[in-house]
Amino acid sequence: MNSKDVYLLENIISFCNGIENTIARFGDDFETFNSDIDYQDACELKVIQIGEIVNSLSDSFKDSHPEVAWRNIIGTRNIITHDYGELDNRKVWDTLKHDIPELKSFCSKIIK
């Protein structure tokens, strides 16, 4: 793994931590997330940033780790960015609560 990929994985972890901190600050329940546009915006921006970073990871790194749905991460970024008014907040919440912790765990294990 090259040093750029390590740097990018560290940044992904940082944004995952930011999502966790935002959830802790605003409240760890879907109803609060669903009713607070600032909460949604804060989390969705971090998901967009993660998608941008994933897009910058080397192809060789992504190819060597097919257990991570890299294309889905980039796809989620695209959906949030381009279909903002059509977002399903339940799907976003599920991503925040399940996919983000899994991605953080994966990235942390890889760089250690």
Give the residue numbers annotated as catalytic, written as ranges: 77, 82
**Distance from C-alpha of 95 to C-alpha of 86, rounded to nearest angstrom:** 16
What angle separates helix 3-26 from helix 37-56, to the nearest 10 degrees?
Answer: 170
- pLDDT value of position 87: 86
* pTM (predicted TM-score): 0.94
Average pLDDT over residues 19-41: 97
- pLDDT value of position 43: 98
- pLDDT value of position 85: 65
Full residue range of the structural domain in which residue 66 is found: 3-111
Q: Taking Cα atoms as reference points, which of 15, 90, 21 lies closest to residue 51?
A: 15
Q: pLDDT tens digits, residue range 4-20?
A: 999 999 999 999 999 99
Total domains, the chain: 1
How many residues are present in the chain?
A: 112
**Distance from C-alpha of 45 to C-alpha of 14, rounded to nearest angstrom:** 13
**Distance from C-alpha of 96 to C-alpha of 30, rounded to nearest angstrom:** 10
- pLDDT value of position 84: 60
- pLDDT value of position 31: 98
Percent of the chain with pLDDT over 90: 93
Q: pLDDT tens digits, residue range 79-104?
A: 999 976 678 999 999 999 999 999 99
**Does residue 60 have a pLDDT over 70?**
yes
pLDDT mean across residues, the chain = 95
